Amino acid sequence: MNVLRPFLKAMLTNRSLWFWGVAFMVFWLVLGAFIFSSGLPSTAIPAFTASWFAVTSLFSLSTLAIGISASIAYATAALAYGFRFTLLKPRDYLFSLLAGTGVLGLTLTVIMLGSTVGVFGARFHLTLLPADPVALVGAAVLAGAFMMALSVTLMLLVVNFLGLRNTSFVSFVPLLLSYVFGLGEVNVAVPSWLLYGSPFSDISALLYQGFTGGAPPVELASASSGTLGWPWLLASLLAWTGLLLLGAAYLLRHIRVRSIEEGRQM
């Protein structure tokens, strides 16, 4: 018994997701196109645009994690009750979240793509379309699934072992890590092994690849800094997602019921 439709509805009617995941990111795109692009040579425009698309999409996708974390923290009793006294099974619940975040990941990425094309097109008077839409769709769906796996695992670790007092901070961890790695790639020379190993860098690099059709650079701000191989990026992201899903499945079966009031004792 899956809960995909109500999950999608709950997420799509979440105003915070639309504000922080879309409106705020479009604001960053406008800044990128009109403020941070001064003196940019015309040859660098495609890579520059792809970098902004990749990083803002990563930030946008990470806001999904906040909504999912909050819904888990609120639903510990509902989940425990549901597994015992309804047709809901942990596997079905995880599948619903996985499929739902895949759809949401794709939705957010498409919105960011449209916004990037519109904003940067208006700035540079160019039509910049993604070179590899299939790769882009795959990366977006996988990115959504990863954010879900990460947020569910982190939240269940906290719920099962620490209590709800720490949930507010934990729900923002995926967002914070996205900013650390996303901005890090733009501003710092991050070693390539760390880029391959970090699922956040994997997501932005794969999105970059989908947009430009070429291998992503080690430094997003410098196209001449060497490139990353997409099979390794994909393998790393799949491995992270798979491992986290296994963790989430185990933790969900042993979910500990927490009172919401516990989370309010901040």
Q: In the window 14-53, what residues touch other proteins (CB under 8 A)?
A: 14
User: Least distance in Å: CB of 147 to other proteins?
Assistant: 18
Residue 89 is given by DSSP the state: -
User: Least distance in Å: CB of 176 to other proteins?
Assistant: 24
Element (H, E) at 219: strand 217-219
Q: Taking contact as CB under 8 A, which single stretch among the options 4-12, 134-142, 148-156, 223-231 is the one that binds other proteins?
A: 4-12
Please state, as a whole number, how many other Cβ atoms lie within 10 Å of the Cβ of residue 214. 16
Q: In the window 223-262, what residues touch other proteins (CB under 8 A)?
A: 257, 259-260
Contact status, residue 119 vs residue 113, Cβ threshold 8 Å:
no
User: Least distance in Å: CB of 162 to other proteins?
Assistant: 11
For 27, the 3-state DSSP assignment is helix
Rounded to whole angstroms, the Cα distance separating 38 from 22 reads: 24
Residue 161: which of 45, 65, 247, 62 has the closest Cα?
247
Site string for other proteins, 88-117 (x = CB under 8 A): xx----------------------------
Q: Give every CB contact of residue 73 below 8 A, 6+ residues apart in sequence.
A: 155, 159, 164, 167, 171, 258, 260, 263
Interface pick for other proteins out of 10, 183, 194, 239 (rule CB under 8 A): 10
How many residues interact with other proteins (rule CB under 8 A)?
27
Q: Is 190 in the site for other proteins (CB under 8 A)?
A: no
Q: Is 124 in the site for other proteins (CB under 8 A)?
A: no
Contact status, residue 213 vs residue 129, Cβ threshold 8 Å:
no
Q: Is 126 in the site for other proteins (CB under 8 A)?
A: no
In the complex, which residues of this chain contact other proteins (CB under 8 A)?
1, 3, 6-7, 9-10, 14, 71, 74-75, 77-89, 163, 257, 259-260
